[in-house]
A and B are shown apart, each in its own frame.
Chain A
Amino acid sequence: MATSILGNPLPAITILCAVIAAALLVHYIVKRPPLNTQTKLLLLAGLGLFPILSAGSGSYAGFVQTTKRDFCGGCHVMEPWIKDAEDPHSTSLSAMHARNELFGDKSCYTCHADYGMFGTVATKIAGLHHVYGYLTKYWDTPLEEAVKTIKIFKPFPNSTCTHCHSTTLPGFAQVPDHKATADDATASCASKGCHGPAHPFASNGEPTAPPHGAPATGGTP
């Protein structure tokens, strides 16, 4: 999990500032200097300046961490999804995307982030909901059961897919199923039989839109 210092200096800056602050604080505690101007400045650096720098760069480094697939796998119930994404032979939508450089080790976040104006913040706040769910409900759930019971909180918005995949190119409209579902607001790109399921265990075969394969999506080509 350790990131290369050269590639990303923030973790190193965080630790360096924390160590400097700690040294100043320990100095004050051990050496007991009188509270003169010099000591006040020393404490200002040890309690203010360096901790703030450390917390600032640490928060940013922490934020970057939360976009990594490893981080998603930090809660054990996500293991089946992580394993699938990392399986080079998997043909699930999630794994196919994870193999692309654009997604890389941030594959989960790239698809599950909110792309609205306050998307990053909204995603992180929604993420707290997941952590709460994990701590109160799923922390000891066995994996077989996790795979069966964990569902997506809100329906997955097609806008996330269209954020990258254009729907205005001529090729798109020529696909009969795209034409057939163009006016159907409930049709999900990732439903089973269309481009889904996104994950091999997705909602256990309960797609948000009717599976097509057969002429179920209305059929008219």
Chain B
Amino acid sequence: MTAHRQRQILVAACVMCLVALAMIVWSIVLPSPLSVMVAMSVAQGIGTLSLMLYVWVVIADLRRARVLGEDEKAAASPAPGKDGNVG
């Protein structure tokens, strides 16, 4: 996964999470059957998905870092560092 791809996925996760948070705040500020149900179902779903995207990116990144660490010379790709690179 390239740094660019990582960033794309994480930004998508952030936006999804912001949408979910907005729904939750809506249900608190204006409680109605619709807002409370949306907050308890749709928002939780989107929020969980965004966290899963984060976990996916981080696991992929850690895996890559370890592979590079074990076998740095063999790694042909010119990745600048374990901790990812320019945004």
Contact = CB atoms under 8 A, between A and B. Distances in A.
B58 A40 contact: yes
Contacts of A21: 17, 21
Given A51-B20, A62-B40, A35 B83 contact: yes
A32 B14 CA distance: 12
A141 interface: no
A58 B24 contact: yes
Contact of A48 (B27, B44, B51): B51
Contacts of A65: 27, 31, 36
A62 B6 contact: no
A35 B54 contact: no
A65 B18 CA distance: 23
B14 A47 contact: yes
Nearest to A20: B21
Contact of A25 (B6, B14, B33, B87): B14
B67 interface: no
Given A22-B21, A51-B47, A59-B40, A35 B14 contact: no
A34 B18 contact: no
A51 B43 CA distance: 10
A75 interface: yes
Given A11-B28, A15-B28, A35-B83, A44 B20 contact: no
Contacts of B43: 55
A66 interface: yes
Contact of B14 (A18, A28, A34, A59): A28
Interface in A47-73: 47-48, 51-52, 54-55, 58-59, 61-62, 65-66, 70-71
Nearest to A11: B28
Contacts of A58: 24, 27-28, 39
Given A35-B10, A47-B13, A66-B36, A18 B83 contact: no
Of B14, B18, B29, B54, chain A has the most CB atoms within 10 Å of the CB of: B14
Nearest to A2: B29
A216 interface: no
B36 to A, nearest CB: 4
Contacts of A51: 17, 20-21, 47, 50-51
Contact of B33 (A39, A48, A131): A131
A37 interface: yes
Given A26-B18, A28-B10, A40-B58, 8 more contacts: A18-B24, A32-B7, A36-B83, A47-B14, A58-B27, A58-B28, A58-B39, A62-B28
25 contacts: A1-B30, A15-B25, A18-B24, A18-B25, A26-B14, A26-B18, A29-B11, A34-B3, A34-B84, A34-B86, A35-B6, A35-B83, A36-B83, A40-B58, A46-B14, A47-B51, A47-B54, A48-B54, A51-B17, A51-B47, A55-B43, A58-B24, A62-B36, A71-B36, A74-B31
